[in-house]
Amino acid sequence: MAKVTKIQAQKRKGRYNVFLDGQYAFPVAETTLIEFRLMNGVELTDDQIKEIKDRENVNKAYGDAVNYLSYQLRTEKEIKDYLYKKEYHRDAVDDVIARLEKLHYLDDGNYAKSFINTQLRTTANGPKIIEQKLHQKGVPDTIIQDKLFEIDEDTLIENATEFAKKQARKQKRASFSQMLTKIKQSLYQKGYNNEIIEEALKSLELEPDEDDELEKLRKLVQKVEHRYDKPEKLIKYLMTKGFHFDEIKKVLSEDSDD
């Protein structure tokens, strides 16, 4: 048995140092002090001391978790990783997780919904990229799929269309064919499926302009023709850039006429 001989308030509000048999033993929060009715003269067994320390450890872990949550929403995995990094024992971590979930401070479903809405509002990311990010944050796959299913398709088409417009402007020097290919690739890399990509392209109402295509081709020929010693090699290169054979022959014939 050990006797509480002194309880000293720390400078930090709500924290106390407990002395047993005249020697400093451990710190506690005010809630722990009240819960275990700690006061001068109280005698404690070794088991009681261990229980108090364990409870204090859980309370400290809980305080750290709440502070971590105060900045932004977190997933269960993020909270666990954070607490393990601070070297809390698994039992303490599990206790904290259960307490946070009971108080609805921790809810992977709400987190996923909020995360998806933010992504759709502030980024050009499509469902596949959002899904990857949620997996990285430790959200269970069943929750991810349920929340992704709730996304309004019109929102996806609108976001994909806006992103496609920006990509089209970046490809203004490319052939029409290459521009379409680049836009599709960019949308796919952003996590959109083929159906959404096709709808986005349809919304843009892109149409090739023959005069514009020929002018782009002329500029490209002027830029690269010195690299090729044979016309066949030049033609092959120009076709990889999305220009049609007839267009290429027409532009090259203009050069030869000159």
pLDDT tens digits, 233-251: 888 888 888 888 888 887 7
Angle at 134 between CA 131 and CA 137, to 5 degrees: 155
Distance CA 120, CA 133 (A): 13
| Residue 84 to residue 78: CA distance in whole angstroms | 10
Instruction: Classify residue 242 as left (phi > 0), alpha (psi -120 to 50) or beta.
Output: left
Structure tokens at 77: 């995995």
**8 A C-beta contact, residue 35 and residue 73:** no
Per-residue pLDDT, averaged over 17-39, amounts to: 90
Return the pLDDT at 256: 58
Mean pLDDT, rounded, of the chain: 90
pLDDT tens digits for range 115-148: 999 999 999 999 999 999 999 999 999 999 999 9
Is the Cβ–Cβ distance between 216 and 201 less than 8 Å? no
pTM: 0.77
Task: Determine the pLDDT at residue 255.
Answer: 63
Summarize pLDDT for 51-104 with one digit per residue, the tens.
999 888 898 899 999 999 998 999 999 999 999 999 999 999 999 999 999 999
